[in-house]
Structure 1
């Protein structure tokens, strides 16, 4: 019997979509302003998942270089039809609504074609597209009608649909309004399924925060009309004490045991009132049961974390960076040089800092609520360090160079720093995310950052930062924590990366 781990994918992996092809499962998630974009994970048992590639691995596939924070790759849907993988997504505030194809989910994927309005003049204005085909092969794009450009930016038109010519990538009609839920805000994440001759329209509503949930309706045609399920919402953690909150934005699939499953997003908040989600939105899974009346029921999402992990990376000339490394609005290969100094990753600063939208930064997702990362860094020819980033307004770092080591917290424009002298050369930098200790009551935050440096064998504690300031609730972010190395000026070289994490 399949063991359902939760999280299914740890760390910043929101908006999951899944498809089964010949007994193999492929899972896609959102990446927003990070590249490479849209990771594809593969599994044969729904327990062990392998990152096999990304959809956006080349410049131009996503126009995230200039998108504002929170823009970029929003909410993919992955499907398989006539021997081809299809992925539709919105490059928000970038290219628009896109359709990618590949014969192998590991890639390479196509450059991405805009899905145009019926007159061919522009991209369809909406988010969270779904693609489905009826028995005659007619393709339908169903989407959330959030306007992202023009004079009506921010206006929401509910769940909409167009029949589309996927060869020409042009809608065959003007958008039609479909069923948009039971009154929750931001109806989004629509998915269409044909089950036993009926069409089911499943959506998220209530917003992607504490009010999030999943609702469903059904009809005799993918075009509707749709009848509302009597038990909506099918799943929601709002007003509960469940350790996984914000559950919603789901996709259905038949699992390895022949039972239906729902993959969906959620968060793992901590603190006295469980108010702060350090890792942002992660991917979870829960069983689905079909009832005698033909409606599905989705079980509450239960916490079942995997054991902790130890990640150790040594950099070599002949070993490329693995797929877990990501960059901000740039591919990691744009910054990371593995050839200039054998056994080291070299970064060259361009004067930008982590306050800038395009820093010289390469990192990996923080996957566990408790985490300790150490890097060995040579700052003799530049200034740079180790950081945890939510975005350009919320980050913490330990920075070396210019005669000192600096621990720094940047919180919405407020800056606090701790300094120690450093004569230059090689040192170890540490950023530890530790579980808070309750003193005279309940813990009042998600975790506590400990910023430190080891110089000549002696560890120097620089400062501590309340982890709530790097949570999705404080930063109001769609992403999550990314831990990485960066350069500000000159050359900074990193020899070794070690990260240990668990969810205790």
Structure 2
């Protein structure tokens, strides 16, 4: 049986997985995007269907002042006695919080703040006792794992004790504890969350330790091979299948451009098999994890595994009452700026004074999940002076490219603008006619081509290319990953709305 890594492509970092019966559930970090913490369901650990988000109400999560790559970090998803639990960190906001649900595809509770510092919380149940483990330290490089009991009704946390300092004494984070056949295992992420990332294992006779380090640590790392297509492997979570097999879900990146390379798609979710040898987990027979994996079988085997929803095309015609679940907003949306009913069959955006350089811009988009893809939309817009609407590829407020339509000195023009750090340049400005505009982005691993098309003519009226590496973590310093979608901003006078009658995202090459 073969499957393709990553199993959740595009920005799906810090994955956490649990199993209920024969069904697996998975949660990932969402940072500054809303709704927060995307949830997926699968029967085979490869074909993932999105079932919702844990944070879907502003009362649960206020991201209005959240900086890029802050917000929701490293959820842990667990199921115990019929209840789903999620613990996570709202960085720059509420701190460590707990949410619960009877049905993960339904409504999740309001968050309970946990009386504990640090980040990357883990929840482990041992009989009637619930333990909270988390990373904490005076600096990121000096983090270690602490543990305390936790009252799940009140969020009150007991006196913490140090559980683990890491095999290198630095960057010990993302703890997960498991009880397997009477032995307690601790899995941590160490080495920092870039190319030195790794997964480390330890075990004990008690959930409070002391923990013995695995003699073959790290149990998963690609740090020794800079030319590997998968790098920065770490932040793993173990799960067993109904047939008794074991697996690890973990994050990694696919860098482009050789050494040192860059990655614009964010940190993605990967899968590998686990065997137990002499009481220790061995990942992928102690070999490097590959993009194309061959295993004896997968859980729920019966048909060939399908590609996860994020790897599929999005063809939105905006005919329904809600947006496709692939779409997310940069921070909490002003709901008055978005409508599916004002112009039926269209997504109508009402621009505000905030631009793509600001928090609060009117924008909604989906993850870029393929290096090679095409995105296009049809825009109906008659801009007032200075107003603008279009299609953007965005990493953060200081790194984005857009093809838009605006008015300059009484004339409607198509513009291609590049924002790279402190530099902003309009590289194309071309007069265009009418109020209906076709916009397109063609992406490859190396570049983005942004273009304006006239009617049904495939030849662009205006086009420009820009390097993908300037939207990558190695340049931006942020690690959320690239999103693509429509945006709108207001002008000096009252601005008519911008309506998009479709949005299409399609992969253009096998990956």
**TM-score under structure 2 normalisation?**
0.90
Q: CA deviation at 1:172?
A: 2.1
Q: Deviation at 1:184? A: 5.8
> What's the CA shift for 1:319?
3.4
Within 5 Å, give how 1:100-499 maps onto structure 2.
100-116=99-115, 124-135=116-127, 137-146=128-137, 156-173=142-159, 175-183=160-168, 185-240=170-225, 241-255=227-241, 257-273=243-259, 275-291=261-277, 293-299=278-284, 300-304=288-292, 309-316=312-319, 318-331=320-333, 333=335, 335-381=337-383, 382-402=387-407, 403-417=412-426, 418-435=428-445, 447-456=446-455, 457=457, 458-489=459-490, 490=495, 491-499=497-505
**Contact persistence 2:64–2:359 (CA under 8 A):** no
Structure 2 distance, partners of 1:503, 1:181, is 39
Shift of 1:66: 1.2
In 1: Cα distance, 2:144 partner to 2:392 partner: 39
Return the offset for 1:4: 3.6
Deviation of 1:420 (Å): 1.0
Q: Measured at CA, do residues 472 and 184 of structure 1 come closer, stay the same or move farther in structure 2, by a change above 3 Å? A: farther
Aligned-partner Cα distance in 2 for 1:73–1:334:
25
1:106-140 C-alpha deviation (Å, 9 max, x unpaired): 12000110011xxxxxxx211000000113x1000
Contact 2:184 2:206 in 1 (8 A): yes
* Unaligned residue ranges in structure 1 (runs of 5+): 117-123, 147-151, 436-446
Indicate the SS of the match to 2:38.
Answer: strand
In structure 2, how many angstroms separate the alpha carbons of the residues matched to 1:204 and 1:179? 11
CA contact (8 A) 1:184 1:206 kept: no
* Cα distance change, pair 184–206 in 1 and its aligned pair in 2 (3 A): farther
Q: Are the counterparts in 2 of residues 332 and 362 from structure 1 also a CA contact under 8 Å?
A: no
For 1:159 and 1:86, locate their aligned partners in 2 and report how far apart those are by CA, in whole Å: 20
Question: 1:343 & 1:62 partners in 2: Cα distance?
Answer: 30
Taking a change above 3 Å as real, the CA distance of residues 204 and 256 of structure 1, as seen in their structure-2 partners, is same
* Local SS of the residue matching 1:258: coil
Change (3 A) 1:72 1:295: same
* Separation of aligned partners in 2, 1:29 and 1:265: 10
Query: Which whole-Å CA distance do the structure 1 matches of 2:214 and 2:18 have between them?
Result: 24
Secondary structure in 2 aligned to 1:479? coil
How big is the shift at 1:273? 2.0
Q: Offset of 1:387 from its aligned partner?
A: 0.3
Q: How many residues align?
A: 476
**Residue 89 (structure 1) aligns with:** 88
Moved more, 391-400 or 473-482: 473-482
Measure how far apart 1:36 and its partner are.
Answer: 0.4
Query: Structure 2 vs 1, CA of residues 256 and 46 (structure 1 numbering), >3 Å: closer, same or farther?
Result: farther
Shift of 1:256: 5.2
List per-residue Cα deviations over 1:177-225 (Å, max 9, x = no partner).
1112211632111000111111111100011100000011111111000
CA RMSD in angstroms comes to 1.8
In structure 1, C-alpha distance between the alignment counterparts of 2:229 and 2:170, rounded to whole Å = 23
TM-score (normalised: structure 1): 0.91
Could you tell me whether the CA contact under 8 Å between 1:325 and 1:332 is conserved in 2? no
